[in-house]
Chain A
């Protein structure tokens, strides 16, 4: 066990608490967007995929790395776009409401 491992473990433990604290109070209407948003965030595996493809020296590694980049990109891009689409609808309410009142 090197110092690096200990440092990563520290980051891990702190992140666990941060992750729990930060969403402690979320209204149920936001459960779905929150799930979808955090789904996009774990798309950060794209960084890992780039690193392994970027250090691949054999064909199997290249193939696996390439696949990983494709899958991770799907995760990141799809995740953010879907979440934005869900949240867009929450925003659209205000002006509509005024119209209705005016009627």
Chain B
């Protein structure tokens, strides 16, 4: 077997592991093995590439290549290992963005490289697609990171004529690409690069923080497509297979995520969801309605008399790092014969499944976690719903207020329980920026303060009581 054939065979092995990995990642039991399978496949592909010959010569710059990999390794491992679980979405955004950036660089470099001889039109097209999609994914992911990390506002950024302006940039970009295809000018490539960068930013700006995870999934899919485009340019099957797999499954996954939020993808991308802040920000609103607030001890007493308590966790729980104390409280209550379970909204936290990961970290038993539909049928007989750092996912406006931006989103019906307790830092509205009527419901009691402090006090009170 020749060297080239052997390497191609190894690439085939790698591509197969990627398929198996995606398959494995769709089932809870095999997910971790699936991920490791892909990692092994990736290693095989990388090692095989070192032995690749291009135009009859071995790879140049191997030491430089190893240096680049060492730098990447030294940066990525600690970051990926030690960043807090709550920061997971932004982390995925960064790793996705750099992948898009790499795909764009590969396409650009290949274009510069082959430009000495005028490229065929279809080659130029592949390069343009790689540069355009890769760069958009890069800059879009960067803005997503800034939003999630709260280095810029999580609210949608809108300005007059936004969609028109974005449309114009888009049309100009396409026009330039066509021009390049016709005359093969490299100078214009840099303009396309700049415009793609702007387009990525403009695309993400009007999307609210709560929707950013869905966006990351879409950008992830974009990067896959950019990688596939680079694969065409380089004539590499493994890039085409892996890139296309991610691109296609990513788009499906994005649709599933938006369906879990009860919204359509276009609605998420173009509606500047949550740009209107409707809350006044203090306990008593202008119309004079007030909320009932209580102390952690009050709640502890109430809980002691309950026979069934449903905990509804949200991102606030994760921010306060209170998941461990929460579990302690739940264990104590169980010890007293109170039935406790957690109602998990599909998009609780900042990404679908994020809350499950956070609670698993605190060793919450799997069977105490109930998915939304099951939780809703159980809530009717619950004595108490404890909402910890969640807001939009229990907002009844999603059911009965047609004017509300979250109308139609499936929610957890905390309002069905006998008593509703909210642990909140303040009256500020949730991530989507919408007032929650449930807070003013007579059966609702609010406990203000840091979730961790409050829960710690509740644990002490339950122990004493």
A interface residues with partner B (beta carbon < 8 Å): 1, 4-5, 8, 11-12, 15-20, 22-58, 60-62, 64-93, 96-97, 100
Contacts and interface: CB of A to CB of B under 8 A. Distances in A.
A31 B105 CA distance: 29
Given A42-B246, A76-B42, A100 B365 contact: yes
B76 A22 contact: no
B68 A5 contact: no
A32 B93 CA distance: 12
Interface string B208-220: 0000010011001
B237 interface: yes
Contacts of B352: 28-29, 31-32
B239 A69 contact: no
Nearest to A93: B366
A73 B69 CA distance: 6
Nearest 4 CB-CB pairings of A with B: A73-B72, A54-B59, A19-B248, A69-B68
B449 to A, nearest CB: 28
B242 A30 contact: no
Contact of A45 (B73, B106, B366): B106
A10 to B, nearest CB: 10
Interface stretch (B13-21, B172-180, B377-385, B418-426): B13-21
Contact of B246 (A19, A68, A72): A19
Contact of A75 (B55, B98, B236, B245): B98
B92 A42 contact: no
A71 B72 contact: yes
B19 A22 contact: yes
Given A4-B235, A48-B103, A52-B113, A38 B80 contact: no
B232 A65 contact: no
A27 to B, nearest CB: 7
A77 B52 contact: no
A22 B22 contact: yes
Given A17-B248, A38-B249, 13 more contacts: A27-B28, A31-B346, A32-B354, A45-B227, A46-B42, A46-B46, A47-B46, A54-B62, A65-B105, A77-B80, A78-B94, A80-B39, A82-B80
Contacts of B234: 48, 51-52
Given A37-B21, A82-B80, A48 B248 contact: no
Nearest to B24: A37
* Interface of chain A, main secondary structure: helix
B242 A42 contact: yes
A15 to B, nearest CB: 4
A33 to B, nearest CB: 6
6 contacts: A5-B232, A15-B241, A27-B28, A34-B25, A42-B224, A92-B363
Interface residues of B, number: 113
Nearest to A101: B365
B397 interface: no
A12 to B, nearest CB: 5
A74 B236 CA distance: 21
Given A40-B35, A48-B231, A82 B92 contact: yes
B406 interface: no
Interface in B86-126: 88-89, 91-92, 94-96, 98-99, 101-103, 105-106, 108-110, 112-113, 122
Given A31-B352, A45-B102, A82 B360 contact: no
B110 A72 contact: no
A90 B354 CA distance: 12
Interface in B342-360: 344, 346, 351-354, 356-357, 360
A19 B237 CA distance: 15
Given A74-B76, A92-B360, A22 B32 contact: no
Contacts of A72: 72, 98-99, 102
B5 interface: no
A31 B253 contact: yes
Contacts of A22: 19, 22-23, 26, 245, 249
Contacts of A80: 35, 38-39, 42
B50 interface: yes
A55 B68 contact: no
A30 to B, nearest CB: 6
Nearest to A52: B109
Contacts of A44: 14, 18, 42, 45, 227, 238-239, 242-243
B77 A81 contact: yes
Interface in B141-190: none
Contacts of B367: 97
A26 to B, nearest CB: 4
B105 A40 contact: no
Contacts of A27: 26, 28
Given A74-B95, A90-B28, A53 B77 contact: no
B92 A45 contact: no
Nearest to B58: A54
Given A32-B357, A75-B99, A42 B240 contact: no
